[in-house]
Amino acid sequence: MYSLSYYVLPSIIILIIIRKYRETKWGKCKNKVRLDGKIAIVTGANSGLGLEIAKELAARNAQVILACRNLEKANTACEYIRGTSKNSKVMLIPMELDLASLYSIKNFADKIKEHYQEINILINNAGVAFPNTKRVETKDGFEVHFGVNHLGTFYLTNLLLEPLSASSGNNARVVVVASSLHEKGVVNVNDLNSLRVTKKTNLYANSKLMNIYFAQELSRRIKSKKINVYACCPGWVYTALFRHSIKWYHYFLIAPVAFFFMRSPKQGVQTPVYCATEPELETETGLLYRDCKRYNSKVIFYDNIATKLWEESESMINKIIKKEL
C-alpha cells in the first residue's frame, strides 16, 4: 500500500508539472485593451470557442453580436455571459445566422447594415466537422465543410465589408479561425464541392486551408480599405466541434494524449482575442498566428490558387442567389 503511493503520487506530480510547462508555451493575450464603443460580431458564439470569445470581448466593454444558428441557444449564451461577467453593463445582442444557408447569411448581413453604420471586429469562428463516411450537404447543396467553413465565411465577410470599412478610429479587424490541420489539407479548384472524395480526403482540413487562402486574398483585395485580416489557429481545444466523429470510447483512447495537448476553451481563445485586440498588429494583415505570435505554416501558398478559389466561390454563390431572386 505504502509502496504503491510512493510511486503514484510522484508520478501524478510529474504529469501535472509537464502539463503546466506545456501550458506556458501556448501563448496568452496579455494586453488589456478596452473596446468601449466598439461593435463586434462573433459567429458560432453560443458554445465552445465562440462563447469564450464573446465573453472576453464583452468583458472589454465591446457591444457583442452573438451570431448563432439557433436563436434560443444564442439567448442562453447571453444569459450565461451576463451571469458570469464582472461587467454589469455587458452589451450582448443575439442574432440568428445559419452559415449553411446563403439566404440566412444575406438576411443577417442586411439586418446588420440596417442597424449599424460600422462594425469594428468580425470573428469568423463558426465551423463544422463531420466524418467522411457520409456526404453531408448544406441547404444550398454544397459539401458541408466547404459550404459552412469556407463559403459561409467568405460570403458573410464580403457582405459586411461596407460597415467594416466604416470603422472609426483604428482599422476594423476580421479574424478567421482556422487550424494547423490546414497543413493536411488540399485545395482542388476543379472540385471545390468535393464530388470526388476518397478515403484519404480530409474535408475539414481542406476547408481550414481555404480559410487561410481566403484571409490572404481578402487582405490583398481590400488594401485601400481600413480593414486588417488575420487567420489564426487556436490549438487543439476541448469543444463539441468533432462531436459527429468521436464516439464515447474514443475519449478513453485519447485521454492520455489530451491531458498534455488539449486546451480549455479559455486557453484556446487567447490567439483569436490577441488578433482582435493587440495594438502591435495594427500594421499587419493577411498573416497566420498561433500561440499569440506569427506562425510559419509548412504549406507553400500560391497566389493563383487563392485567386481561383475566390473567383469560383463568387461564381457558386451568385448562381444560388440568382435562383432565389
Residues 6+ apart with CB under 8 A from 19: 259, 260
Catalytic residue (choose from 2, 21, 204, 213)? 204
Query: Nearest-5° angle of CA 164, CA 60, CA 124?
Result: 40
Residues 6+ apart with CB under 8 A from 51: 45, 77, 80, 81, 265
For residue 53, which of 263, 211, 274 has the smallest C-alpha distance?
274
The string over 11-47, giving b where at least 16 C-beta atoms fall within 10 Å of a residue's C-beta and e elsewhere, is eeeeeeeeeeeeeeebbebeeeeebeebbbbbbbbbb
Question: CA 274 to CA 175: how far, in whole Å?
Answer: 10
Q: Is 7 a catalytic residue?
A: no
Could you say which DSSP state residue 262 is in?
Answer: P
Residues 6+ apart with CB under 8 A from 322: none
Q: What's the burial of 107, exposed, middle or buried (CB within 10 Å: 0-12/13-18/19+)?
A: middle
Residues carrying an active site annotation: 204
